[in-house]
Structure 1
Amino acid sequence: MQIDLSGKTAIVTGSTSGIGYAIAKGLAQAGAQVVVNGRKQADVDSAVAALASEAGQARPRGVAADVGTAEGCAALLAAQPSADILVNNVGIYGPQDFFEIPDAEWLRFFEVNVMSGVRLSRAYLPGMVQRQWGRVLFLSSESGLNIPADMIHYGFTKTAVLSISRGLAKRVAGTGVTVNAILPGPTLSEGLQAMLKDEQQASGQSMEETAAAFVMKNRPSSIIQRAASVEEVANLVVYAASPQASATTGAALRVDGGVVDTIA
């Protein structure tokens, strides 16, 4: 199978590092014109430069905008009025006890993790429907099914994303536009590496070994028994964004290493 996204414009929110950058890279390598997004201009410029050197003939561009706000979404739309592929990747997370989470933090998680995708999908989907082709992808998480006791506010936003994705797929039924959710599990992104850095140095193990131990302690149902790489997550996103995935819509596509212990 050879995925060719030549002539397609793809927006990936929160794509200056981690899973988002890997997705942007994968789409660019498949021929898409990729729009990198992040909050800080310096980070966006750095990611665009790296992408241009790593993705062959790709000519990525960047838009610095905080899509966790209505104003930031409007700024991205003004800079890039249309898209064929929208990957709602941006998200925040962090452990915090339920009884210590103030209202403002619940609202911040909701704005970034949920409303960014709502606003951008509302902006870009009509054009896709008019052109009778498009792909919208929401980055959910296995935590949307396996709600973590120490990150209830995060898990709730990822469950909400599943509902929105499924509902939007029904809303654009028969138009040639697909909408899906991607559910990563523990992934060895820069964020996880930073969290495990002290533990890794103290143990003398490699980062991969440290991450595998973390997974087995915190997600013992993992079948692969390690953290996924960002490229492994990106591979599923690139496929779901491709013409070959035309019969896949309204789906919750898991790349969680088997953490969620259900068949369906």
Structure 2
Amino acid sequence: MSSFSTQLEGKHALVTGGTKGIGRAIVELLLAQGANVSYCSRSATDNDFAAFLDRSKPSGTASGTSVDISSPSSIETWVEKAARKFGRVDVVVANAASFSTEATAESWRTSFEADVLGLVSLINASTPHLEKTSGSIVVVSSVAGFETRFDVAGSPYTTFKRAQATLAKDYARKLGPLGIRINSVIPGPIEAPGKVLPDGSREPSRIQTLKETNPEYAQGILDAVSLRRFGTAEEVANVVVFLASPLAGYVCGANVLVDGAMSTFL
């Protein structure tokens, strides 16, 4: 019987949208498990996790890059540079997404380029590297793409978040024969900390902002959660890292809900 270890020490993970919220929690947990992490966001730098690395002193290291996820060439360049730097790619976490709720033609176009084409570009650029390591991909979707109770229903965000989960399911049939696993995680309402600002403070989370600007609506969301609380970024990260690791070696094509039993679909 094998020990209950993620077996990620010395492995190399790519994480998009890794500087705040769920993405930041994923990067920190991967680092804590001994993985090297290449992360990106629109404004990422190499210093985003300096305090965490100094405090926790994990065996892995973090490397940040500013990347436009709507640009296939930017994604391809980032993946190739990261693969060369660490000599391999074992895990890819697709967490970055635009949060567009405007139903304008321009919003639909830009969101599609980032959330759908960006995801496809990331998968395609990573596949040759993941095939060498029998690696895994985890796509972070959202319950907002499945539950129409949200006020953002009918927006690019909800539509393409559902599309991301569908892509993960579909790609499982394509990538499985190559030895690559792909799954998606579908978080519910998560009270995740915002980006760390230069003065050490944090941007307010979307849930925090909603509580302040529309407390009745925030309470309505909470009432729909069976556990009667918002989730945390760390709780989502735990599931993501499990799926990314060899512990989930026979899990492929799964869409895993992390929503406190909020959703009503199977």
TM-score, normalisation: structure 2: 0.84
Structure 2 counterpart SS, 1:68:
coil
| Paired residue type of 2:92 | L
Question: Distance between the aligned counterparts of 1:177 and 1:24, measured in 2?
Answer: 21
Matches within 5 A, 1:31-70: 31-40=34-43, 43-53=44-54, 54=56, 56-70=58-72
State the Cα RMSD in Å.
Answer: 2.4
Aligned to 1:108: 110
Identity across matched positions, percent: 26
Structure 1 contact 185–259 (Cα < 8 Å) conserved: yes
Aligned to 2:120: 118
**Aligned residue pairs, count:** 248
Offset at residue 165 of structure 1 (A): 0.4
Aligned to 2:89: 83
**Gaps spanning 5+ residues in structure 2: where?**
195-202
Question: Distance between the aligned counterparts of 2:168 and 2:187, measured in 1?
Answer: 15
Matches within 5 A, 1:1-264: 1-40=4-43, 43-53=44-54, 54=56, 56-81=58-83, 82-96=88-102, 101-131=103-133, 133-147=134-148, 148-152=150-154, 153-190=156-193, 193-195=204-206, 197=208, 215-218=218-221, 220-262=223-265, 264=266
| Paired residue type of 1:44 | T
TM-score, normalisation: structure 1: 0.85
Structure 2 counterpart SS, 1:173:
helix
- For residues 27-57 of structure 1, the C-alpha deviation after alignment (integer angstroms, 9 at most, x for no partner) is 11111111121122xx423323134234522
- For residues 1-51 of structure 1, the C-alpha deviation after alignment (integer angstroms, 9 at most, x for no partner) is 2222012110000101111010011111111111121122xx423323134
**Gaps spanning 5+ residues in structure 1: where?**
204-209
Question: Distance between the aligned counterparts of 1:167 and 1:8, measured in 2?
Answer: 26
| Paired residue type of 2:117 | M
In structure 2, do the counterparts of structure 1 residues 79 and 237 end up closer, same or farther at CA, with 3 Å as the change threshold? Answer: same
